[in-house]
Amino acid sequence: MGTIWIQGVDAITLDAEGRVLRGVDLLIEGGRITRIGQAPPGTQADEVIDGRGKVALPGLFNAHSHAAMTFERGWAEDLPFPRWLNEKIWVAESALTPDDVYWGAALAACEMIRSGTVGFNDHYFYMDRVAEVVEQSGMKAQLAWCVFGIGADKEVGPGLDGTLAFIDQWQGAAQGRLRTCLGPHSPYVCPPDFLARIAQIAAERGLPVHLHVAESQEQVENSLARHGQTPVQQLAALGIFDGHVIAAHALALSDADRAILAEKGVFVARTPNTYLKLAMPINHVTDLHAAGVRVALGSDGPASNATMDLFQIMRQQALLEKYLRLDPESLPGDTPLRMACQTGAQALGFPESGSLREGAPADLLLLDFDAPHLRPRHDLIANVVHTATGADVTHVLVDGRLLLRDRVLLTLDEERILYEAERRAFRMVNQNMSQMREYQA
Ligand SMILES: [Zn+2]
C-alpha cells in the first residue's frame, strides 16, 4: 500500500482534546496515519494531495441502514407508516431478487462514498450480495442477514442456519473490513424463544446483534400486554443485551429502559430523517446521553428516508434536538460529528477509527471549503455541522486506500451501477403493481 501525503490541510481531529489544526500535513503509510503536523524533510510519497482550501475529517459511519432499499427511493411518499409498509414496501420486496440486492447496495455504496461514509451497518436480505459490494467498493461494513424466526416460509432466504453459514463465510473478509453479526428483525416480530436462541448463539460465538427496538409507544403497549415487560426489559431478560448490541431507533423508552441500555453498554442508532419524514414521535437523544447511553447516527433505508448523506442526517439530529428541547445549547459543537464518526465506528466494531490521530487507520475524507456556503472559516466545526453536504466531499480514504479522488469514484463502475439499478428498480415496482392489479381483480 502506497504512501499518501496530504499537504497543508485544515484538520478537525475529533481527538481527546477536540483539536482543530490549521495547515498541517497528514502522512499515511501502510494504511495508517503516521504523522499529523509537518512532514519530515525528505519525505517521499506515491501520491501527493494538495490540501489547501480543504478540511480533513474522520470518515463517517452509518450505524443503521438497509442499503438495497435505494430501489424504493421516491416510490412510497407521504404515507402513514402502516400504509407505507403494507401497500408499498412489502409489495415491492415480494419480488426482490439477490441481483436486485447487489445493484441496490452498489448504488447505495456510490452515494455513501461520495458523501464521505466509510462504513455502514446493514440489515437486510441476501447479504452475501452486499458483502460482494463491500469487497469491491473498499468500504468497511458490519452486515446482518435479517431473520424473523416465525417459520421457514416467512424468511427471505435460508433463515438462521443460512445466516450462520453467511457469518462463517464472510466474518473478517475483505482484509478485515467486513464484519458480520446476527440480525433478528425486532422483539415485535421475533418470538421470545427465537430471541433467546439468538442470545445464546451470540454468546457462544462472540457475535454482535443488530435489531430494531421500541420504535413506537404502540409497540411498548403491545409488549407490556403480551409479556408484562417493555421491549427493552424483555430483551435484557432474554440475554440479548449481554454482548455487543446495536439497537436501531429506541424511540419509546422509560427512564428504567434507558438505565438498562446504559448498564448493558447497548449502542442506540438514531435515524432522524426517518422520524421527521414519517412523523414519528421520539424521545430526546440528550436523555440517552445523560443516562450514559452511546448514540450513533444512521440513514435507515432510503425508502423511508431518501438520503444516505450523513452530513444532512447529522444536521437534522442537531436541529431536531435543539428544537424539541427549545434549547440551542443541546448537542453543541462537535457532538453530532462525534456521534457520526466515533460512536458509529465503535458500534460497527472499528473502535480505532473515528478520529484523526497518529497510529489510527486512515479512514478519512476531505471537504472542499472553497465554496460560498463554507466561508468565512470562523468555526470549521460549525460550518461542517450546519452547512456542509456530502457533495462537498472531494476525497475519501479507507485504510489508506483512495476510494474517491477529486470527486471521481475509483473502485466502482458508477455509470453501469446507475443504469442497472434504475432499470431493475423500475422492473421490481412494475412487476409488483401488475401482480397487485391481478390480485385486486
Ligand atoms: Zn431499519
| Prediction pTM value | 0.96
Identify whether residues 187 and 236 lie together within a single domain: yes
Does the structure show a pLDDT above 90 at 135?
yes
> Residue 431 — very low, low, confident or very high, per pLDDT cuts 50/70/90?
low
Identify whether residues 223 and 92 lie together within a single domain: yes
Identify whether residues 47 and 67 lie together within a single domain: no
CATH number at residue 272: 3.20.20.140
Identify whether residues 75 and 140 lie together within a single domain: yes
CA 390 / ligand 1 centre spacing (Å)? 22
CA 44 / ligand 1 centre spacing (Å)? 46
Q: What is the per-residue pLDDT for 95?
A: 84
> Residue 51 — very low, low, confident or very high, per pLDDT cuts 50/70/90?
very high
- Point out the least confidently predicted range of 71-85, 303-317, 320-334, 377-391: 71-85
Q: What is the per-residue pLDDT for 123?
A: 97
Identify whether residues 172 and 270 lie together within a single domain: yes
Identify whether residues 192 and 281 lie together within a single domain: yes
Spell out the residues 6+ positions from residue 23 whose beta carbon is closer than 8 angstroms to its own.
8, 9, 10, 52
Does the structure show a pLDDT above 60 at 116?
yes
Rounded Cα distance between 437 and 426, Å, is: 16
CA 333 / ligand 1 centre spacing (Å)? 28
CA 377 / ligand 1 centre spacing (Å)? 36
CA 211 / ligand 1 centre spacing (Å)? 8
CA 250 / ligand 1 centre spacing (Å)? 11
pLDDT digits 0-9 by tens, 52-88:
999 999 999 999 999 999 999 998 899 888 888 888 8
Q: What is the per-residue pLDDT for 274?
A: 92
Spell out the residues 6+ positions from residue 177 whose beta carbon is closer than 8 angstroms to its own.
134, 138, 139, 140, 141, 398, 399
Does the structure show a pLDDT above 60 at 263?
yes
Owning domain of residue 202: 60-341
CA 124 / ligand 1 centre spacing (Å)? 9
**Domains contained in the chain, number:** 2
Does the structure show a pLDDT above 80 at 305?
no
Q: Which residues surround ligand 1, an ion (CB under 5 A)?
A: 300
Identify whether residues 379 and 257 lie together within a single domain: no
Q: 404 lies in a domain?
A: yes
Q: Are 223 and 188 in contact (CB under 8 A)?
A: yes
Mean pLDDT for 318-343 is 97
Identify whether residues 81 and 123 lie together within a single domain: yes
CA 300 / ligand 1 centre spacing (Å)? 5
- In the structure grid, which three cell numbers stand for residue 208, read together? 454482535
CA 207 / ligand 1 centre spacing (Å)? 20
CA 48 / ligand 1 centre spacing (Å)? 40
The values of phi and psi at residue 267, to 5°, are -85, 130
> Residue 303 — very low, low, confident or very high, per pLDDT cuts 50/70/90?
confident
Q: 169 lies in a domain?
A: yes
What CA dihedral angle connects 308, 309, 310 and 314, to 10 degrees?
Answer: -110
Residue type, 48: V
CA 4 / ligand 1 centre spacing (Å)? 37
CA 212 / ligand 1 centre spacing (Å)? 6
Spell out the residues 6+ positions from residue 27 whose beta carbon is closer than 8 angstroms to its own.
3, 4, 5, 6, 33, 34, 35, 36, 39, 43, 45
Mean pLDDT for 5-13 is 98
Q: 320 lies in a domain?
A: yes
Choose among 135, 71, 131, 139: nearest CA to 109: 139
CATH number at residue 13: 2.30.40.10
Identify whether residues 33 and 89 lie together within a single domain: no
Q: Are 360 and 351 in contact (CB under 8 A)?
A: no
Helix 231-238 vs helix 192-205: angle between axes, to the nearest 10 degrees? 50
Does the structure show a pLDDT above 50 at 441?
no
Identify whether residues 272 and 223 lie together within a single domain: yes
CA 45 / ligand 1 centre spacing (Å)? 42
